[in-house]
Amino acid sequence: MGKSTVIHRIASRLRAEEPNPAFTPVVIVQASPEDVGSSARLDFYRQVLHALRGHVAIRDRIENLPLARLRGKKSADPAEWLEVRDAVIYALEVARVKAICVDEAQHLMHSDAAQRPGVQLDWLKSLTNRANLLYILVGNFSLYDFCHLNGQAARRMRDEHFARYHFAQQEECENFIGALKALLLQVPLQVDIPEMLRQWQWFGEWSIGCVGILSDWVVETVSSSCRAGKTTLTIDELKKHALKPDQRFRLETEARTGEFKIEQAKAKSEQELLELLGRPQALPSGSPFSSPNASGAQSPQPTVPRSRSSKCIERAVHRDPVGAKEAPTAPVETSKCSFLGPIGVTIQQFQESGIWHVECQNCGARRDMKKVKDRQKEKSVGFYVRKNGSW
């Protein structure tokens, strides 16, 4: 059965279990797609009062409210709106209503253009707090987005996905065959049920696994056959009223998109929660301050966040060298030479010979005399120079 049939059967069962006929435990409201925002609220109020008009006190209250009694009447007077809202809360208390089911609730969630998207959820939350009721919102996949607009609304809701039948699983195939058989047994025409059940895959493909679509399909075919004076339900008649290929394509696309959106939203929410907390943390099973793991060790303490005043050490801005670089040679460790003797070589002799390096006769250290030319002009330097094998 489809979602609308489910809520009607639940309401019928609860009404049958209520011993006092003056009480109505469940009220069903059908949201209208043409009513948006404040108009949707007024239509909601009117449907609730209309469903509870059997009570004498509620009927008398409605007679004094033109805005609630006349369906075509519109008003911008806040006083009239408050009177209607108070009448609804009064009616819910008198009739002892425990739950309100809103079918096609995605239409109820659309707000006026000048209002924020979550204003309708805040309105339902206010009614819930005042009347202490359970609101059951039934709709398509777009309802999921409205119910998760903010954390306050999401924490007050429980999602229940009425998934379609997926024929890749044996159990769901058997359940679909059982639903098809139960539907065919209610047909007021002659039906070869065993032959129909052998075609269950064809029924499943053209109903995309949705019992609501299957039910509408069979009901439309039976109605057309009865008007034509036929007494037997056949496959040929069902083919005439099956979905067109473009209709089936759109429904299949919307179903897969909605299923993927719900799966991705749940997975993304879990991942974002883990990233926000920094690490997964199991629920405590003992002390509210510590939870030992399976090995008996205490769970690690949360890390203390760094102070905002702490600064990171960063290197100075400079250009890095590029290209191949020669490996640096290890420095030669030399002891300090004690030779201080002068060498009898002048600057003129250096210029004439073209040799500017001198070598110490004790330690073998070399020195470029061009670097000391400016500091020690025409002065003797305390080094020997080797020339023609002699110093």
Torsion of CA 261, 262, 266, 271, to 10 degrees: -10
DSSP β-ladder status, 366-368 and 357-359 = antiparallel
Residue 64 has a CB neighbour count (10 Å cut-off) of: 10
User: What are the tens digits of pLDDT across the range 18-65?
Assistant: 888 888 899 999 888 766 667 788 888 888 888 888 888 888 888 777
> Do residues 291 and 299 touch, judged by C-beta distance below 8 A?
yes
User: What are the tens digits of pLDDT across the range 273-327?
Assistant: 777 777 655 555 554 444 444 444 444 444 544 545 445 566 666 677 776 655 5
pTM above 0.75, yes or no: no
Non-local (6+) Cβ contacts of 381 within 8 A are 342, 343, 345, 358, 369, 372
pLDDT for the residue 140: 82
Question: What is residue 383's DSSP assignment?
Answer: -
Question: What is residue 126's DSSP assignment?
Answer: H
C-alpha 111/C-alpha 113 separation (Å) is 6
Q: Per DSSP, which regions of 229-387 are E strands?
A: 232-233, 357-359, 366-368
> Do residues 102 and 29 touch, judged by C-beta distance below 8 A?
yes
Q: Which two tokens stand for residue 223?
A: 């109605």
- Cα–Cα distances in angstroms (integers) from residue 263 to residues 63, 83, 270, 272, in the given order: 49, 43, 11, 14
pLDDT for the residue 372: 60
C-alpha 34/C-alpha 40 separation (Å) is 8
Question: What is residue 72's DSSP assignment?
Answer: T
Residue reference for tokens 């059908």: 30
pLDDT for the residue 181: 93
> Do residues 180 and 214 touch, judged by C-beta distance below 8 A?
yes
* Spans in the chain with pLDDT lower than 70: 1-2, 34-37, 66-78, 111-115, 117, 153, 279-318, 323-341, 361, 371-391
C-alpha 161/C-alpha 111 separation (Å) is 24
pLDDT for the residue 223: 93
> Quick one: how far is CA 283 from the chain centroid?
22
Question: What is residue 190's DSSP assignment?
Answer: E
